[in-house]
Structure 1
Amino acid sequence: MSIRNLDSLFDPRSVAVIGASERPFSVGATLWRNMRASGFQGAVWPVNPKYTELSGTRCYARVAELPATPELAVICTPPATVLDLVRQLAQAGTRAVVLISAGLTPELKQAVLDAARPTLMRILGPNCIGLLAPHAHLNASFAHVAARPGHLAFVSQSGALVTAMLDWAEARHIGFSHFVSLGEHADVDFGDMLDYLASDGHTRAILLYVESIEHARKFMSAARAAARNKPVIVLKAGRSAQGQKAAASHTGALAGADAVYDAAIARAGMLRVDSLEQLFLAAEILTRFKGPIGERVTILTNGGGAGVLAADAAAARRVPLAALDEALRGALDAVLPPNWSHGNPVDIIGDAPVARYVDTLHALARHPHTAGTLLFIHSPTAIVPATDIARALVPVVRPERGRALPLVACWMGGPAVAEARALFTQAGIASYEMPEQAVAAIGMLQAYRCNQAELSEAAPAGPAPGPGAPRLAQVRPLIEQVLAEGRELLTEPEAKAVCAAYGIPVAVTSSVAADAEAAAAEATRIGFPVVLKILSRDITHKSDVGGVVLNLQDAADVRAAAQAMLARIGKSHPRERLDGFSVQSMVRKPQAQELIVGASVDPTFGPVVLFGQGGTAVEVLKDSAMALPPLNDPLARALIARTRVARLLAGWRDVPPADLDAVVHTLMAVSQLLAELPELAELDINPLLVDHAGAVALDARVRVRRPPGAGAARFAIAPYPAALAETLDWHGQRLTLRPIRPEDEAQHRAFLDSLDPEDVRLRVFYSRRALARSELARLVQIDYTREMAFIATVDGEGGAPRTLGVARSIADPDNVEAEFGIILRHEMKGAGLGHLLMDKLIAYQRAAGTTRLFAIVLTENRRMLELGRQLGFADLPMAEDPSTRRLVLALQAT
């Protein structure tokens, strides 16, 4: 739904507990006890006709008897009573309900939602443990233990995991801002919670336990918005491959739900972990680590064994250690005794005094590009108290002025290092008990960096039109013909024709040979050696049935192979239709890698793209990764990097690096196919043979279907809306109006730097001297599902585009209201550019179905108020702030 009325769920002024009880071990009794013990400052009213009093508090028989309307109601009564209670509460004006009750039928659940919807009353549950908001002293749950106040928000689909996590966290003194059990999430779901928690001041990081997602685009939009503000860490259940659907292609078989979740989590800039312990390891490092995340790690330790353990853990997790260059070695030689390790790990020897720790850390800090991320490991000794070392190092790691060091700490041991670890924690330094934990956390940090980079990409659904554009018009009649014939699977020549139309190099296939003699004749015409393949609309994996023979040297070989193939397949698959043979030249690439590139449609996240190691053993090797389209060059390269075969593509020994650009081109072409061909259900290019000279698809499979499942409209992430760009003549210049994109960052900074400070004050209500890079990135890395920013550009010096103005809007998750803002270069005022930008923005929001467009404008900003009136906006006073006005435009007919 949205974040509407979620503040009533998590910070209400009054609460009614319906079904409160004093019956031992009952849900109602536990709920009532938890609410009373939480220290909630508002009114709390029990409702149960069986009691006149509970714990010295008057108990009400019915909702109608309550002294006032409760802002939040917690219902733990039998399912048959729930609908009438929700209706009564909605009519009374209650804003939110925690529905503990379980056993609601789908029909009853829908009736409850229908009763709540007219008043926007929110429902958490049903069948949930409830919620805890420690900062609001609210415990509306039947959990067995309360949550400590803290800065982590935990949202879970599993009630059992909620109670286990609370118990686990209490033993470790971990606090929370919110602890939420979604239950069956009939109304409030992960998307709503992410939207709410993204702007919550008490929440430093968001932890999710996910079993399933229903509304993929809503979830991805909310997740990407939240991940730009704070770390979002996901523990997703179901790593196993059980339950995968049968599929006609390798891609379909490999594209299990878990692999798609991996792709979605990475694309949204979140981090996935595998256990509850990792959930908190990740939260510790993502909320405390400062400084740039280095690709390599330098280990600083006072114990050789601890350093070796950390190095082993780093190797196991593919966390590379830094190689110390001569300059850094010299700096360390100057401060360390002759018997230091002279390598990485940097072992400063167990007898190190405090000064040696400080001097070594300073030396590493002076070489950030060589040292990268620092891992400090300390084993307690009798020579120097760990507390003294910590006190001396904190000012180095976190100086009052200057850049914080990118350091992760491991204080090994128990009581001897407890105070030192606490000093580091209080200083905001991520600290762990064991080297393996610290290395695992650094690995998560590096994965998070990669995912955040993917978050910043806004790929178009396809390339800009022009020479060399894919020939969709060529593919469309072929697909229509296949569907008209009642087929789903394209023949190999048809599949290759689709690939070729989108610029994917394919091994040329001859025309169809009807029998063995025709196949021999075709082979003679092509030239030897050749490959012979069975042609069948029913057989997908030809090699599995002996339908592929390689390296045939003459016509007799081809004739004999064709006859044997017909006999073999006719015996093993007598019901399959055999349409003849395809004959193609034998492609020889002795140093090439066999890859697979594919596409399928996930029932939750829609179209997905697959890449990995190919060949006949692809499903056994399972070296593959998936990505959500649309893809651009950086996203395609990130997909390749997530596989093991990527290291082979980089070359080794006498094998030169493969043509990675050709692989990237193929991945982007498949992404475009998914966008433009809604009927595409599955695609395999296997093998895609790649070496230093390029790539060629030796085989291709395509499956289509109606109703369509692909198409850009089904993408879980809205692609860059290139179709909204337009160019027009304006005052003698070629003016381009288009949506903003991440690549505009430098150009947009130049635009912002050119603005008159007074114009900025009128736009954002205060003056600014500079804009942080993170804030600038947020302006250009927008989510086109709920945001839009149209920029107006002309060619500047040297042909580089120059931004003249921007009009921006952000819609609420319900798309009821969108707030807009516009700002122009000072010299552009009065030239009509504001009208052009606003006309385009208004048309866009109207087409998107937004109900109202509004802006809050300073009363003194007369130029903006006049523009609003000219465009048809109502100019309304703001009673709560006479210095501002509200411009409102209704976009939809009432």
Structure 2
Amino acid sequence: MSIRNLSRLFNPRSVAVIGATDRAHSVGATVLNNLIDGGFTGEIFPVNLRHSTLAGLKVYSRVGKLPRVPDLALICTPPDTVPGLIRELGECGTKAAIVLTAGLAAVKDRHGNSMKDLMLAASKPYLLRILGPNCVGLLVPHIKLNASFAHVNAIPGKIAFVSQSGAMVTGVLDWAKSRGIGFSKFISLGDSADVDFGDLLDYLASDGETQAILLYIEAVTHARKFMSAARAAARSKPTIVIKAGRLPEGAKAASSHTGAMAGADDVYDAAIRRAGMLRVLSTEELFAAVETLAHMRPLSGDRLAILTNGGGPGVIATDALIAEGGHLASLSEESLEKLDQILPANWSRGNPVDIIGDAPGERYEKTMEILAQDPKVDATLLIHAPTAIVPSDDIASILAPLVQRSSRNILSCWFGGDSMHAARRTLSGAGVPTYDTPEDAIRGFMQMVRYRRNQELLMQVPSSIRPTDITNRDSAYNVVRHALASGREMLSEPEAKSVLASYGIPVVKTREVGTVDEAVRAAEEIGFPVALKILSPDIVHKSDVGGVVLDLDDAGPVRLAGEKMVSRLHELMPDARLVGFSVQSMARRPEGRELIVGIATDPVFGPVILFGQGGVAVEVVKDHAIALPPLNHVLAKDLVCRTRIARLLGGYRNRASADLEAIYRTLIQISELAIAIPEIVELDVNPLVADANGVIALDARIRVKPARAESMDRLAIRPYPAELEECVTWHDQQILVRPIKPEDGLAHLDFFHALSAEDVHNRFFVAMRELDASRLARLTQIDYDREMAFVALKRRADGSVEILGVSRCVADPDNISAEFAVTVRSDLKGQGLGTILLAKLIAYCRIRGLQELVGETLCSNVNLLRLANHFGFNAKTSSDGSTMLLNLPLHPGE
């Protein structure tokens, strides 16, 4: 369930308070008083057996005695009463309730059922939505609704705040009120038994009263739902997150480096990043980010120019910028020449641009104009320290018209106290984020940078990667199935490498043998030099028992190494089982960088992909990054760039650059492996050696477990649904109808350009000559869990694809109704493509369980109206007569 009936929660006309009382400091009394004192203009119905009036209001003995059905009920009664009350409310027609009572999960009936489970069971037949239990409540200031037991009310504003922590609710509410920060919605989730983050993100994304969404997250329960809702919300408005629990939560039992290093906070960080949200680390940063992002203009890069009237603040800002990972802009020669003409001879002649403490307002203005036009500058930070020469508010007044005209991002720091208030107000009113200190200003700029990067990942249109002859899934799966049938969780090293090879990942030639003698013979057949490794299901890391010896260049050293390994194993781990040895050829890669690539399984977000610096000290170095599958070229590149070793992968001194494309392909192939074989719960490729000639896996470890039937549900982001691909005969030729891919961006652009102006107007309802990058990304990078677009494709002689037509639908968050559209290339209309595409779409929607397909088109779009009539759509004219509304019940008669 998602946004159904949430309007009753956030915009009720009447509220019942069940458990209302006059007992001082009780929840029931506080909630009733807050409702009344907050000025709620709807009806309030107190419910209590022991009172006839409370706070001047008539009290009703039970829900069944209420004069009207309340839109919203607030429940403040003991846990064992809640399920019955929810059932009674559902029966009378109430559609939303806030359960403030705590402890429902701990209290059970005589059959062992918790009150929480009984409450949910009672609500389900009536689609009654529940906020809580164990929550502080809800505040909606613009309708003066304070349905909470918070100690202060909220000021009206445009920010929605959602918190799992009750203490954070009351603390932030108090903190924000003291600073004059207002809210559109202020929501305490509590235990999230029904309404959760996903539901609220879906609702707030389309809420006209909300311009920015702030989340305090302790834990997410439904990862797929959360990710889909978060990605949708982050596309429409800034969504900013504090995630509690950043420190390690204790040792994690794992059989691999990847499993040990993929901590819960890293995974949450990857999820927040992938969803296009911004993560901050403190409450103050949370609200500072709102102002920063609310005033943010399009940002093309992270090169910052600093304009200051004093050297010290400029140096402080520079230090903070570099420490945060930002980049100081290198000014163009043209800008330097222009600045030489207007600044004193002793100016800094570089960035930061120190215009000297006696600078009048005109000097600020001219300098800012030059910096705002420099092609090497992406944003400018103004730092002003007060002087007795020119009043700060005069400078701000001079700069305000300039910054309002600028298309670049300009930030300001008025470094001082009370004397700076007027200047701050002036530039803030001009749409410029203002800060008290240089460090605060740099943090604001870096929030812009990180937010831009996350939005690019959300909205990017990846380029196509060269197809490889990877994926022999059956071969890889047979290895995994054999291990499970043998009662093993760990694959042997040769087995693990065969799985990798089946997915196109280069591995060194490896042979598995049972004895020292067989190891010698295998080494002679492979060719010296070789590496010898011990095989035992009881050893996690072979090097811990001296179970790896490299560069053995003759039969004698191989034999000696094998015998010593057996002796050491018996001495150090006498109970360990010895299966044998693996013999592998030595990979001579003198310029190779040792990397680690792996898969771990998070209990919430499912499989995650890890990349970082490899080798035996991998857990000590702690240089790694995490991403959620599925990966593509852009996301794989971003994953690599977030590690320190990324700098060493480029060429330096006499070392050639590593083959980055080979690394990206390997990450994509590992991602495909994680998706395709759910039995793999941990995987290490360590080291994966990368140099100018490509990559090669020297060692691999895979842990497996039986998978559930619904294995795709374990993925936080639904991958490309290859099973929906279909070859169709069209006019004696075969065309492919398949779901759209992000890599279809260029082909979709060509398709758009092949549409007539009339067809573009019919599709988008406006005249449009070009598709900008943002709209193109929305059309090609879709959430397969909520949207679908089928493209009809023909392959050209050069291997590229040509899009002939597109049908698409976007489902509502409740999976009840989907809005559809069909577009066929203008020169191919009337040849049956629309019929093929719409039939495919309707069949998909029926399988998905949607109840209806709806659409709207211009009355002049006779081709679509004829096609809709062919499939049995109902059509009626809109109220203004300009469009036709289309509707197709997908399961008539049920």
Quickly name the TM-score band, shorter chain normalised: over 0.9
The residue aligned with 2:2 is 2
Q: Report deviation, 1:722.
A: 3.9
The residue aligned with 1:887 is 887
Q: Which of 419, 438, 444 is 2:441 aligned to?
A: 438
The residue aligned with 2:509 is 508
- Whichever residue aligns with residue 495 of structure 2, its letter is E
CA contact (8 A) 1:9 1:96 kept: yes
Q: Structure 1 residues 234 and 819, CA, compared in 2 at 3 Å: closer, same or farther? A: same
The residue aligned with 2:426 is 423
Q: Which of 347, 357, 381 is 2:387 aligned to?
A: 381
Q: Structure 1 residues 776 and 699, CA, compared in 2 at 3 Å: closer, same or farther? A: closer
Matched, 1:609 2:633: no
Deviation readout 1:794-821 (Å, 9 max, x if unpaired): 5789987554433221112221221212
Q: Which moved more, 1:163-172 or 1:473-482?
A: 473-482
3-state secondary structure, aligned to 1:32: helix
Q: Report deviation, 1:419.
A: 1.5
Q: Structure 1 residues 825 and 477, CA, compared in 2 at 3 Å: closer, same or farther? A: closer
Gapped regions of structure 1 (runs ≥ 5) = none
Deviation readout 1:673-715 (Å, 9 max, x if unpaired): 1122121111100111122222211110011111359955532
Q: Which of 292, 309, 315 is 1:308 aligned to?
A: 315
Matched, 1:474 2:475: yes
Structure 2 distance, partners of 1:650, 1:499, is: 25
Q: Report deviation, 1:423.
A: 1.8
CA contact (8 A) 2:301 2:378 kept: yes
The residue aligned with 2:376 is 370
3-state secondary structure, aligned to 2:854: strand
Q: Report deviation, 1:565.
A: 1.4
Gapped regions of structure 2 (runs ≥ 5) = 106-112
Deviation readout 1:299-340 (Å, 9 max, x if unpaired): 111111110110111121111111223222112212211111
Deviation readout 1:708-765 (Å, 9 max, x if unpaired): 5995553211122344344444346664433233344454455445555555565566
Structure 2 distance, partners of 1:518, 1:826, is: 69
Q: Structure 1 residues 539 and 289, CA, compared in 2 at 3 Å: closer, same or farther? A: same
CA contact (8 A) 2:737 2:793 kept: yes
Structure 1 distance, partners of 2:657, 2:316, is: 33
CA contact (8 A) 1:850 1:892 kept: no
3-state secondary structure, aligned to 2:328: coil
Aligned pairs (5 A) from 1:211-226: 211-226=218-233
Q: Which moved more, 1:551-560 or 1:232-241?
A: 551-560
Q: Which moved more, 1:774-783 or 1:246-255?
A: 774-783
Q: Report deviation, 1:893.
A: 7.3
Q: Which moved more, 1:842-851 or 1:3-12?
A: 842-851
Structure 2 distance, partners of 1:763, 1:527, is: 65
The residue aligned with 2:343 is 336
Q: Which moved more, 1:740-749 or 1:179-188?
A: 740-749
Q: Report deviation, 1:767.
A: 6.0
Structure 1 distance, partners of 2:792, 2:519, is: 60
Q: Report deviation, 1:646.
A: 0.9
Matched, 1:571 2:577: no
Aligned pairs (5 A) from 1:168-207: 168-207=175-214
Q: Structure 1 residues 223 and 364, CA, compared in 2 at 3 Å: closer, same or farther? A: same
Structure 2 distance, partners of 1:72, 1:858, is: 40
Q: Which of 388, 396, 404 is 2:402 aligned to?
A: 396
Matched, 1:135 2:136: no
CA contact (8 A) 1:674 1:711 kept: no
The residue aligned with 2:110 is none
Structure 1 distance, partners of 2:558, 2:468, is: 41
CA contact (8 A) 2:858 2:882 kept: no
Q: Which moved more, 1:813-822 or 1:772-781?
A: 772-781
3-state secondary structure, aligned to 2:253: coil
Matched, 1:263 2:263: no
Matched, 1:318 2:330: no
The residue aligned with 1:847 is 847
Deviation readout 1:140-195 (Å, 9 max, x if unpaired): 11111111111111111111111111111112221111111100011110000110
- Whichever residue aligns with residue 641 of structure 1, its letter is C
CA contact (8 A) 1:298 1:373 kept: yes
Aligned pairs (5 A) from 1:40-59: 40-59=40-59
- Whichever residue aligns with residue 316 of structure 2, its letter is L
Q: Report deviation, 1:842.
A: 0.6
Q: Which moved more, 1:426-435 or 1:585-594?
A: 585-594
Q: Report deviation, 1:121.
A: 1.5
Deviation readout 1:482-518 (Å, 9 max, x if unpaired): 1111111111111111111211111212341512x44
The residue aligned with 1:555 is 555
CA contact (8 A) 1:390 1:423 kept: yes
CA contact (8 A) 2:875 2:884 kept: no
Q: Which moved more, 1:867-876 or 1:440-449?
A: 867-876
CA contact (8 A) 2:462 2:742 kept: no
Aligned pairs (5 A) from 1:779-818: 779-794=779-794, 801-818=801-818
Q: Structure 1 residues 385 and 798, CA, compared in 2 at 3 Å: closer, same or farther? A: farther
The residue aligned with 1:716 is 716
Structure 1 distance, partners of 2:309, 2:470, is: 61
Structure 1 distance, partners of 2:638, 2:123, is: 44
Q: Structure 1 residues 61 and 803, CA, compared in 2 at 3 Å: closer, same or farther? A: same
CA contact (8 A) 1:71 1:96 kept: yes
Q: Structure 1 residues 76 and 877, CA, compared in 2 at 3 Å: closer, same or farther? A: farther
3-state secondary structure, aligned to 1:690: strand
CA contact (8 A) 1:374 1:407 kept: yes
Matched, 1:451 2:454: yes
Q: Report deviation, 1:792.
A: 3.3
Q: Structure 1 residues 261 and 459, CA, compared in 2 at 3 Å: closer, same or farther? A: farther
CA contact (8 A) 1:751 1:804 kept: yes
3-state secondary structure, aligned to 1:504: coil
- Whichever residue aligns with residue 838 of structure 1, its letter is L
Q: Report deviation, 1:770.
A: 6.8
- Whichever residue aligns with residue 572 of structure 2, its letter is S
Q: Structure 1 residues 531 and 791, CA, compared in 2 at 3 Å: closer, same or farther? A: closer
Q: Structure 1 residues 709 and 252, CA, compared in 2 at 3 Å: closer, same or farther? A: farther
Deviation readout 1:25-54 (Å, 9 max, x if unpaired): 111122112111222222222222222222
3-state secondary structure, aligned to 2:599: strand
Q: Which of 278, 281, 284 is 1:277 aligned to?
A: 284
CA contact (8 A) 1:458 1:720 kept: no
Structure 2 distance, partners of 1:764, 1:565, is: 70
3-state secondary structure, aligned to 2:690: strand
Matched, 1:535 2:538: no
Q: Structure 1 residues 795 and 655, CA, compared in 2 at 3 Å: closer, same or farther? A: closer
Structure 2 distance, partners of 1:459, 1:727, is: 25
3-state secondary structure, aligned to 1:718: coil
Matched, 1:668 2:675: no
Q: Structure 1 residues 861 and 691, CA, compared in 2 at 3 Å: closer, same or farther? A: closer
Structure 1 distance, partners of 2:258, 2:417, is: 50
Structure 2 distance, partners of 1:637, 1:482, is: 33
Q: Which moved more, 1:712-721 or 1:83-92?
A: 712-721
3-state secondary structure, aligned to 1:60: coil
The residue aligned with 2:496 is 495
- Whichever residue aligns with residue 424 of structure 1, its letter is L
Structure 2 distance, partners of 1:796, 1:245, is: 51
Deviation readout 1:597-622 (Å, 9 max, x if unpaired): 00122111111111111111111221
3-state secondary structure, aligned to 1:398: helix
TM-score of the two chains, using structure 2 as the length reference: 0.94
- Whichever residue aligns with residue 506 of structure 2, its letter is P
3-state secondary structure, aligned to 1:813: coil
3-state secondary structure, aligned to 1:223: helix
3-state secondary structure, aligned to 2:146: strand
Structure 2 distance, partners of 1:688, 1:886, is: 55
3-state secondary structure, aligned to 1:510: strand
TM-score of the two chains, using structure 1 as the length reference: 0.94
CA contact (8 A) 2:378 2:408 kept: no
The residue aligned with 1:346 is 353
Q: Which moved more, 1:451-460 or 1:75-84?
A: 451-460
Q: Report deviation, 1:588.
A: 3.2
Q: Report deviation, 1:248.
A: 0.8
Q: Report deviation, 1:21.
A: 2.3
